[in-house]
Amino acid sequence: MIYQGKQKIWADYQKEIPDDHWFYVRSCIRQNFFPGAEKMFLEICRGLLGKDFYETEHHTTCGGIAYHCDTIPQETVMTIVARQFALMTEAGYENYVASCITSFGNYIEILETWKEFPELETRIRELLWKACRREFKKPEYVAHASDLIYKYRNEIAAKAKYRLVNRLTGEPLKAVEHIGCHYAKMFPARGIGGAEYPYVLSGMIEAWGGNVIDYPERRHCCGYGFRQYHVKANRGYSLSNTHKKFESMEPYHPDFILTNCPGCPYFMDRWQYVIAETEGKTYGENGFGIPVLTYEELASLVLGYDPWDIGLQLHQVAVEPLLDKLGIEYDPAAKYKGLDEKEIMRPELPGVLRCC
Partner 1 sequence: MKENIVIIGGGIAGMETAAQLLDLGYKPIIIEKSDHLGGHVADWNRLFPDMSPAADVVRSLASRVSGANIFLNTEISFINKLKDSYNIMLSNGISIVTRIIVMATGFALFDASKKEEYGYGVYDQVMTNKDLEHWFNTGEDPRINDSAMNAVGFVHCVGSRDEKARNTQCSKVCCITAVKQAIELKQKFPDAMIYCFYMDLRMFGKKYEDFYIGAQRDYGIRFIRGRVSEVSENIDGRVIVKAEDTLSGKPVKATLDLLVLMSGMVCSQDSTKVANMARLPIDTDGFLKSRDNVMDIIESPKEGVFYAGACTGPKTVPETLAEARAAALKVHLFIKGLE
Partner 2 sequence: MDFGFKLSPSSAINLDNVNPDKFEELHRAEPDVYKCMACGSCTSTCPAGRYSGMSIRKVILALQRGKEKEAVAMMKNCMLCGKCSMVCPRGINTRHLILSICRIYEEERK
User: Which residues contact partner 2 (rule: CB under 8 A)?
Assistant: 232-233, 235-237, 239-240, 243-244, 274-275, 277-279, 351
Contacts within 8 Å (CB) and 24+ apart, 70-73: 70/227
Which amino acid belongs to residue 131? A
CA distances from 116 to 88, 112, 119, 188, 253 (A): 23, 6, 9, 18, 46
* Minimum CB distance to partner 2 smaller for 271 or for 305: 271
* Minimum CB distance to partner 1 smaller for 1 or for 333: 1
Residues near partner 1 (CB under 8 A), total: 18
Q: Which residues contact 37 (CB under 8 A, 6 or more apart)?
A: 30, 99, 294, 296, 297, 310, 311
User: Which of the ranges 99-107, 150-158, 179-187, 213-221 carries the binding residues for partner 1, by CB under 8 A?
Assistant: 213-221
185 forms part of the interface with partner 1 (CB under 8 A): no
* Minimum CB distance to partner 1 smaller for 18 or for 194: 194
* Minimum CB distance to partner 2 smaller for 32 or for 278: 278
279 binds, among partner 2, partner 1, none (CB under 5 to 8 A by kind): partner 2
Contact with partner 1 (CB under 8 A) among 55, 90, 94, 196: 196
User: Which of the ranges 67-75, 211-219, 279-287, 306-314 carries the binding residues for partner 1, by CB under 8 A?
Assistant: 211-219
CA distances from 169 to 141, 147, 165, 166 (A): 43, 31, 8, 6
117-148 residues labelled b (16+ CB within 10 A) or e (exposed) = eeeebeebbebbeeeeeeebebbeebbbbbbb
Among 300, 313, 232, residue whose Cα is nearest residue 269? 313
Contact with partner 1 (CB under 8 A) among 67, 197, 273, 288: 197
What's the CA gap between 346 and 147, in Å, rounded?
Answer: 35
168 binds, among partner 2, partner 1, none (CB under 5 to 8 A by kind): none
Positions in 240-279 near partner 1 (CB under 8 A)? 251-252
What's the CA gap between 258 and 36, in Å, rounded?
Answer: 15
> In the complex, what is the shortest distance from the CB of residue 64 to partner 2, in angstroms, rounded to a whole number?
25
324 binds, among partner 2, partner 1, none (CB under 5 to 8 A by kind): none
User: Which of the ranges 90-98, 170-178, 216-224, 263-271 carries the binding residues for partner 1, by CB under 8 A?
Assistant: 216-224
Contact with partner 1 (CB under 8 A) among 94, 206, 214, 309: 214
What's the CA gap between 281 and 275, in Å, rounded?
Answer: 6
Among 96, 49, 34, 43, residue whose Cα is nearest residue 258? 34
> In the complex, what is the shortest distance from the CB of residue 252 to partner 2, in angstroms, rounded to a whole number?
19
Phi, psi of 128 (to 5 degrees): -65, -40
The DSSP symbol for 212 reads E
Phi, psi of 54 (to 5 degrees): -105, 140
> In the complex, what is the shortest distance from the CB of residue 266 to partner 2, in angstroms, rounded to a whole number?
16
Contact with partner 1 (CB under 8 A) among 83, 151, 153, 218: 218
134 binds, among partner 2, partner 1, none (CB under 5 to 8 A by kind): none
209 forms part of the interface with partner 1 (CB under 8 A): no
- Termini Cα distance of the chain: 36
> In the complex, what is the shortest distance from the CB of residue 232 to partner 2, in angstroms, rounded to a whole number?
7
What's the CA gap between 4 and 204, in Å, rounded?
Answer: 18
The footprint of partner 1 (CB under 8 A) covers 1-2, 5-6, 8-9, 194-197, 214-219, 251-252
